[in-house]
Each structure stands twice: as structure tokens, then as C-alpha cells.
Structure 1
Amino acid sequence: MYQTSVTLCNFPSINSAVSKDTLKHILTMKVTANAVTLFCILLLLSSASACLNNCLCIRHAMTCRNYTEIPSQIPSGITSLLFHYANFSIASSDFGHASYKSLDSLSFTECHFNLIDSDAFVQLTSIKSLRFMTNFIKILQPDAFDNIPTIEELFLSQNNFNQLSRGLFLGLANLQRLDFVNHQMLNIRSNAFRGLDNLKILSLSNNNLRSLTDDKIWNGLHALEELYLPNNNLASIANELFSGLQALKVLDFSNNSLQVLSQAKFAGLNKLETLILKQNPLGVVPQSALKALPQLLNLNMYSSGLSAISASAFENVPNLKTLVLDYNRLDILPTAAFRILAQLEILTMRATRIETIPSRAFSNLTNLQHLTFARGSLNKIEKDAFQGLSSLLTLDLSRNHLTSLPKKLFRPLIVREGTMIGLSYNQWNCDCHFEDFTTSTYYHFGNATVHRIFKDLVCQTPPELKGMFLWSVPADNFTCPPTTPKAAMTQTEMEIIIGSVLGSAFVIAVVSGTGVKYYRKRKSKFRRRRQHDLNLVSWDDNSEDQDHSEHTQETRSTTSVIHL
């Protein structure tokens, strides 16, 4: 107990002021915990004199406010130093005292710098992290960061820069992370990152870049593995822009204005594993662009304006493990597109317009572990919808419009440690139709399991069960309102119906009789006209025969005269 109390006061200045023998003596004394705590407070007060004016020292860190120059020295044991609201210039001689040799982290926030001189930090021989956050820097010499071989992290966020000039980072050969973020408008010059041969993480978010057309800006970044470009109003990128980043594994384009992506845009990114395209107005899955990414494992298309996904959308990236499709305008679950994704482990589809999960929608996704449909429009899940999901650990169906579930819906799931099914904030109707689901689920999973896995299933209707947990409802209470028999027709209704039938029959008979009479009349007229035509033809034939006979007789008479 006493050891714990004393270690609460284990600050650098106290360690130097209190000998080991004194601490050992305190531990052997039979004093109360309150006395030990009081002793610690007194030690803290007495150690305040070791910290500089307008500074706070906690363990190995010191924070100083409103300084107008770099202190000539710092207390021994300090490894992390932060200046807040300072106003000064920095020259290499400012860190010449031996007390700065052990400093491994130096930060400046909301400071005003008149000048950061050449080789300003060359004396910090143990520095690993250098941070400039929300500052105003009038002049930054091009070689200000030269000759700092130990530095591994450099953060330059919101510092009023408008340009990244070539050669600025030539002295940071061992730098592994560079954050250059939150500048109003940044122009990146060719070869701006030359010299960063070991850089692995580069963040250029919130710089209003608008377009990237010069592939030479990445020169020298042979080891880069992660590139972050969110919130830059990017509307276009050049073809083969990233062809020199052969080691790149993560590329983040979140919240830009990209509309079209082709295979040429991502040429050379053969090792890319994660592509983040969320909040870009793409409208479709960029199938052609994905063809350039044979090793892609994670694709994020959160709020990308998708209204449909074709069956072949993911055929070029069959090894996907994570697919994020949240907040899109999808109306129909793209089951055909999922069939090729046999390696998929995480699928999230929050806040879509999908209303139905059809039967066997995920039958090929045998490796799927996490499936989310939260905050959507689901109102129906068909029988066997989750068939094949034998590896599923978490299923989130919360905040939809579901009222009931098929009785054997969750039978394909294998319950293991960590299995969770979210069903909260739906419109569950605990009537007689829900009893089948309750009975079947109890029988299959057991009492303890259903209370652990389905614990947030709360009835909304009928009114007498509203707010009750499904598993607390007695079996006899799963009822449906009795069906009200249809009332017999009155005499008046019967007479109206009979009259309507008879009237309809009469009308049909009249129409039919008139039609038959008209048909017969037309047929008789046609026959008379036909006979008349035949008679005319016969008369013409007789006339022709008579003329022919007379002509023959006349010919014979003429012949006789000739002979005579």
C-alpha cells in the first residue's frame, strides 16, 4: 500500500531530492496512507523550485508558456519540452547547453517565430520528435532541418505555409513520419521530398491542393508505405501519378471531389493494400481503376454516391478482406457482386436504402466475421438470409424498421466467445407470429445464450408488451387480435346485387341479340350480291358464245362464195 502511494510522487525532481535510504525508511515506517500522501504533496511543493518559471514539470515533461526566448538550460531529466504561446526566433546556438542533449521530443504550439535559422536544431543530438502545430512562422530557412540524423517524426500542421520548396528535408535521412497538414493552399514543388529515403508515412491532408499533376513531387520516396490526402478539394489526378511509389500500401483520398478514376491513375501501385475513397462523388465502383491494384485488401467507399453495384464490380479485387459501403443510396443488396469475395472478413452497409435481405444473400462469404446494416431501411429478412455465415462473430441490425424475424434465421451461425447480434431500436411486434422465432431460437441456442446474444431485443407492439424484453414475455402473451367474422349481407344489399346481376344479364342478351341479327342481315345481303354477280358473269358468257356462233356461220358463208 505504501509503495503504491510513494510511486505516485515519482517525478524527476523528487527522485533527485530524495535519497533511496529516505524512501526505504518511509516504507518501513508504520504510518497511514494519508500520511504518505501528505508526504508526497510536500515533496511536490518542494520540487517546484527545480522547474523553470512559467513552466509545469510532470515526470519527464516540461511545458512552458509566454516565453520570449529559448531558456539557456532546462532541468536535468527532462526529455520532453513544449512551448506554448511563445514569441521568439530559433538559432542553432539556443540549444547548446548540455541539458538539451537528453531531449527527445520538442514541440511548439500557437507560437510566433520571427525566424527559424539554418541548422536550428543541430545541437539536439537525441531528438526524435519535432512538432510545430498552429504557429505563425515568418521565415523558415530552406536548411532549417539540416543535420538532424536522429529525428524520426516531424509534424508541421497549420503553420501558414503556402509552398513546399525543394531541399527543405534534405537533412532528415532517417525521418519515418512527416505530417504537413492544415495549410490554406499548398503548392508542392518538384523534388520537395527528396532526401527522405526512409520516410514511411506522409500526411498532406487539409491543404487545398485541388489537383496533382506532377509525378516528380514524390521523387525520393522509395520507402513510402502510407500516403494521406484527405480534405484537399482534389478534382483530378494525373495518370501514373503514383508510379514511383512502389512500396505504397495505404492511399487515402477521403473527402475530395474525384468523379472518375481509371486504371492509369493507379498504375504502378502493385503493393497497395488499402484504398480509401470515402466521400467522393464517384457514383460507381471504379472497376477499371481497381484492375491496377492486384494486392488490394481493404476498400472504403463510404458515402460515394453509389446507387447500384454491378455483378462484376469487384472481379479485379477478389482478395478483399474489408469492404465499407456505408451511407450510399443503394436500394438493392448487390448479392451477385459479393459472390466473388470469398475472402471477405468485414462488410459494413450502414444507412443505405436497402429494405430486404434476400435468401442466401451471403452464401459464398464463409470467412465473413463482421456484418453491419445499422441505421438503415431494413423491414424484411428472408428465410436462410444468413446461410453460409459460419464464421460470423458480430451482426448489427440495430436502428432499422424490422418487426419480425423468420424462426430459423440464426441457425447457420455458430455461437462462440465474442458472438454478438445487435437488434436494438427496431419496431418489434411481439405477437403470435413472433412466438415461432422465440421458441425455435430458445431450442437451438439455449437459455443462457439467447439472453447474452439477443439481450437488446425489446418489444414495441402490442401496447401491453411495449418496453418488455422479448425473452421476458410469457408464451401465453404472444397473441394476435381475434379475427372478426364478416357481417352477413342485409336484404337490401342482396336485392341490389341480384338486380345488378339481372340487369347485366339483360344488357348482355340485348347486345348479343342485336349483334346476331345484324350479322345475319349482313350475311344475307352478301349472298344476294354474290348471286347477282354470278348471274352477270353467266349472261356475259352466253352472249360471247352467241357472238362466236354467228361469226362462225358468217365465215362459212364467205368461204362458200369464194368457192363459187
Structure 2
Amino acid sequence: MMDSLLTVKVRILVYYMLTFFTCNAACPSVCMCSTNGIVTCFGSTIIDTPKQLPTHMYTLKLQSTNMHVISERSLEKKNLLTRFSLTFSHLQGVHPRAFHGAPQLKSIQLSHNNLSSLPARVFSPLITLEQLHLNRNQLETITADIFEGLVALQDLDLSYNKLSSLASGVFSRLMNLVILNIGSNYFKTLPPTSFCSLIKLNMLNIHKNQLETLEPGIFDGLVNLEYLHIYDNKIATIPPEVFWPLRKLKNITLSSNQLQFLPERSFYHMPKLFKLTLYKNPLLSLPDELMGHMPEMPEFYLYDTNLITVPGNLFANMSGLQILKLHFNDRLSELPPNLFSSLPELQILSLKSNNLQQLHPQHFSKLNKLDILLLNNNMLKNLAKNIFQELGKLTKLDLMENHLKNLPGDIFKYNAFLKVSLSDNPWDCTCSIKGFARWIRHNKHVVLDSENVICHSPKHQILRTLDSLNDEELNTCNITATPSCTVTQEPTQAPSTTSPTATAAASPHKPRPSVRPHETSSTYDISPPFYDVLVVEQGLEFVHHNYHNGWVYVWFLPSNIALAGFLMFSHILLLATGMLLILCTMYSMHLLSKRVEEIKAQF
């Protein structure tokens, strides 16, 4: 028993060794041959299919060749060949009987060539062909009978050619077609019966053409279609109910067209839809009834439009929505209060770069699972105290680049996991901001850009960060609110000052100049604190002045003795190095001149 098993193993090993050596012996030098029957040949020296190829070859791939024509004999005597590709070459023609020698082919790829036309019924012998790729050629027309006989064809790619019209019935015999790609051509219109017989079609790509409209009934019969890509055309109108036959549709892309309006109930009867794109259309308005029941849709994109507002029930039938990107609509200034009330699963909401001026206090009250909220680059002037109260799981909030001057001190009270961005807002650092400034001081780890959250008013607070404001100075901020003042004669003796580290450098006994705002004969539009007692003190890392208890504090950038010493040492070292290099150069020139004189003396 053991001897017989050993004999079988030896025979199998011998068989594989013979196969390996036979394969290598028959493999041309411009090819790579594998033991599983795949042969890949490439190079400009190839002008036709190599003659000496392994007998067990199933797949032949020719790449970057100089083969201009597939002749009548190019594929003869290749009875086991099922997959043939000739790509990235200079192919310009195909003989009418080129595939008669290999009717068993199941896949043909002639992509990235220079084909401008094909003979009628050139593929007709290929009754078992399942895949045909003719993309990225120069095809301008295809005859009505070009695909005659391809009853088993499932995948047809005609994209990136120069096709501008389809012959009537050109796809009518492709009953088993599953994928059809005619994108990136020059179609301006498609006959309404173009796809009517493709009852098994699963994916249809007609994107990147010149389509201006869709004919009524063009998708009738596509009962198994799941993916429909129509983006990047010039479609301005859509017929009512044109998508209704597509009951199994999962993905439809209508972005980058010229749609200004959409018919009522355009997207009804699509319960399996999980992706719909309408962005980059000049939409002016949306109908009150647009979306049907689509609970499986996780993402929705509606941006770069001309919308001013949207219907309050726009997302009412999208209960499973997780990502909503309603941004980059620079005219969108208003949102209905209940717009997001039916989205309990929403996790990411982007409203950035719109024209929103206010938000309803209950806008986000139902979004208990919201994780990211982007409100940056809008026109928001204020926010309600409880607007984020229900967002207990919120981790990121962006409020940058709005018109916010103040926020309630406890607006983020219920957001335990929050990280927020607040810069590029005109914060008004008067008494009213005390509560919010205190929150920032105590939650610097929450504010991602605290060093850029700075005061824009009043004048004496400009460029201060909110986290540098303290309660004591905000209690007396009304004293500095006087826009102009009358100043008595200045003391003739300048106030004495000490070193920058002193806490009180001016003489405290000097009389304060009286300020009488009601006198107008000698009124100066100058900030009053500069006419009071001057104090110089080292403090925060920016320059400003602050009025406190009759004193004016002037803060300035602190000096760093170690850094200054290092820079001075580096400066001296660079000067010394430069001088040394100059001396070395002069000495080298002297030696060179001396050597030249010695050589001249020898001659």
C-alpha cells in the first residue's frame, strides 16, 4: 500500500516537472510563461502573436507591442485559449475573420489602442464570449450588427471613445448583459429604446457625455438594474417618473449636471437605494415631495447648489442616514426647524460653507448619535443656550469663520467628549463674555485653537486671547467704554519707571488727570487709559494695554536671556568663521601665485 502511494506521488512530481520544463522550453524570450497557463508578452519587437507558445496556454496577454493588425491567422491553432488581451499597443485594425480561429474565447480586451472602426459581425463566431472591452480607443461609430451572435456576453465596455450616436437595436440581442459602460463619449441623446431588452443589466454607466435630457421610458425594462451613473453630463431636465421602473436600484449619481428643478416624487419606489448624489447642480428649489421610502441609505450628498432653503420633510424617509453633507451651498441661508428630526442614526453632519445666519434651538435635538458637526464658514451671529444639549456623543464641533461675538458660558455643559474650534470669529470682549471666557480658561484642552480665539473689540482688548481674560477686569470693562475724553494739562515731569519686571514702575502718588466727558472744547479721540498712570510689567506674549484700578498695564513680549545669548554666540561664531574662510582663501591665492611664478621661471 505504501509503495503504491509513493509511486503515485513520484508520478505527480514527474508530471509537474515535465510540465514546467516544457513550458519554459516553449516560452519565447519576450514572454513570461506560468505553469497555470498564463502567458504575458510585451515589447515593441512584437508585431504579431508569437508562434512558439506553450500548448497548455489558456490566457495570452500582449502589452505595449507594435502590433497594428489582428490578422486572420493571429489566433489560429490556439484551441485552448479562452482569454486574449492586446492593450497599450498601436492596434489599428482587426481582420473580419480574426476570431474564427478561436471561437472558444470567453474574454477579449483590446483597450488603449487606436481602433477607429470594426468590421461588421467581427465577433459573431464568439458564442461563448462573456467579456469584451474596447475602451480607450478612437471608435466613432459601431454598426447595428457589431455584437450579433454574442448571446453569452455579460460585460461590455465602450467607454473613452468618440461615439456620438447609437444605432437602433445595437444592444437588442445582448440578453445576458450585466455590465454596460458607454461613459466618456460624445452622446447628446440616447434613443428611448436603447436599453429596453437588457433585462439582466446590473450596472449602466453613461457618465461624462454631452447628454442634455433623458428620454421618457429610457430605463423601462431594466428591472434588475442596481447601479446607474449619469454624472458629469449637461442634463437640464428629467422626465417625471423616469426612474420609477428601477425598483432594485441601489446607487444613482446625478451630480455635475445642469439641473435647476426636479419633478415631484422623482425618487419614489426605490426602497433599496443606498447612494444618491445631486451635488454640483444649479438647483434653485426642491419639491415638497422628492424622496420616497429609502431606509437603507447611509449617505447623502447635496452641495454646490443654488438652494436658498430645502423642504422640511426632505429627509423624512431616510431614517437610516448616517452621513449627511449639506455644505458648500453659498446661498443656503435658512433651514426648517424640523429638518433633521427624522434622522436618529446620523453620525456626521456637515453644514459648513453655507450662508446660514441662524439656527433653531431644536435643530439638533433628535440627533442623539451625532459624532461630528461642521458649522464653520457660515454667517452665524449667535447660538441658543441649549442648542447642543442633546448631543451627548458629540466629539467634534467646528464653529470657525462665523460672526459669533459671544456664546453662553454653559452652552457646552452637556458635551462631555467635545473638541471644538472657535477661531476667526469677531469675539466682543466686554463684560457679557465673562462666562464664556471663564469656560475657555477652564477647558483649554477642549478648544483646539484657543491661541487663535482672540478679541476683535473693544479697542483696548484687540488681539487678546479669550483665555487671557479674567473675571476681575471684565467686572470693570464699562469704565473703558468712553469713546472720547477731555484731558487736563499733563504733568511736566514724566513718570519714573523701573525695570520691566517691576510690578509698579510709575510713582503712585502722582495726580491722576481729571476726565470730563461732558466738555467738548478739548476733546481727543484717544483711548483714556494712556493719559493715566503708566505701569510696565512683564506678562503675556503679546502687546496690549489694560486699565485696572487706576493703573494702565502695558504688556509686551517677554525676553529670553538664554535664547538671546545663544543667538549672540551664533552671530559671533558666524562672523569668526567668515573671517577665517577669507584668510584661508587669501593664503591659498598667495600659494597659487607663488607656484605660477616658479613654473614660469623653469621655462
State the partner residue of 1:86.
Answer: 66
State the partner residue of 1:158.
Answer: 136
State the partner residue of 1:427.
Answer: 401
The 3 A distance-change label for structure 1 pair 290 and 17 is same
**Equivalent-residue separation in structure 2 for 1:77 and 1:404 (angstroms):** 73
CA displacement 1:433-485 (0-9 Å, x = unmatched): 475345x25xx42xxx44xxx3x7364577999x9971685995466973434
- Aligned counterpart in structure 2 of residue 112 of structure 1, from 88, 91, 103: 91
**Equivalent-residue separation in structure 1 for 2:102 and 2:17 (angstroms):** 26
- Aligned counterpart in structure 1 of residue 126 of structure 2, from 116, 132, 148: 148
- Aligned counterpart in structure 1 of residue 211 of structure 2, from 228, 231, 234: 234
Q: Residue 237 of structure 2 aligns to which amino acid in structure 1?
A: V
State the partner residue of 1:40.
Answer: none
- Aligned counterpart in structure 1 of residue 149 of structure 2, from 158, 162, 171: 171
Do the aligned partners of 1:213 and 1:238 also contact (CA within 8 Å) in 2? yes
1:40-189 superposed matches below 5 A = 52-54=28-30, 62-66=40-44, 67-74=46-53, 79=59, 81-91=61-71, 93-96=73-76, 101=80, 104=83, 106-118=85-97, 120=99, 123=102, 125=104, 128-137=106-115, 140-189=118-167
Shift of 1:256: 2.0
SS in 2 for 1:287: coil
User: TM-score if structure 1 supplies the norm length?
Assistant: 0.64
Question: Hey, which of these two has a bigger chunk of helix by percent?
Answer: 1
Do the aligned partners of 1:55 and 1:65 also contact (CA within 8 Å) in 2? no
Do the aligned partners of 1:191 and 1:219 also contact (CA within 8 Å) in 2? no
Q: Residue 423 of structure 1 aligns to which amino acid in structure 2?
A: D
The 3 A distance-change label for structure 1 pair 191 and 468 is same
CA displacement 1:56-110 (0-9 Å, x = unmatched): 7799562412221111244677846132243332245423455x83664524224
Do the aligned partners of 1:176 and 1:198 also contact (CA within 8 Å) in 2? yes
Q: Residue 62 of structure 2 aligns to which amino acid in structure 1?
A: L
The 3 A distance-change label for structure 1 pair 207 and 49 is same
Do the aligned partners of 1:142 and 1:167 also contact (CA within 8 Å) in 2? yes
Identity of aligned residues (%): 21
**Equivalent-residue separation in structure 2 for 1:219 and 1:309 (angstroms):** 30
Do the aligned partners of 1:146 and 1:172 also contact (CA within 8 Å) in 2? yes
State the partner residue of 2:177.
Answer: 199
Q: Which runs of 5+ in 1 are unaligned?
A: 1-14, 20-46, 494-564
The 3 A distance-change label for structure 1 pair 285 and 18 is same
Q: Residue 155 of structure 2 aligns to which amino acid in structure 1?
A: R
**Equivalent-residue separation in structure 1 for 2:114 and 2:378 (angstroms):** 49
Shift of 1:202: 0.9
1:457 aligns with 2:395: no
SS in 2 for 1:338: coil
Q: Which runs of 5+ in 2 are unaligned?
A: 1-15, 430-436, 452-465, 484-515, 522-603
**Equivalent-residue separation in structure 1 for 2:344 and 2:147 (angstroms):** 48
Do the aligned partners of 2:325 and 2:349 also contact (CA within 8 Å) in 1? yes
SS in 1 for 2:74: helix
1:212 aligns with 2:187: no
Shift of 1:241: 2.3
User: TM-score if structure 2 supplies the norm length?
Assistant: 0.60
**Equivalent-residue separation in structure 1 for 2:113 and 2:27 (angstroms):** 25
- Aligned counterpart in structure 2 of residue 248 of structure 1, from 203, 225, 234: 225
Do the aligned partners of 2:60 and 2:81 also contact (CA within 8 Å) in 1? no
Do the aligned partners of 2:116 and 2:140 also contact (CA within 8 Å) in 1? no
- Aligned counterpart in structure 1 of residue 410 of structure 2, from 436, 459, 469: 436
State the partner residue of 1:282.
Answer: 259
State the partner residue of 1:498.
Answer: none
Shift of 1:351: 0.8
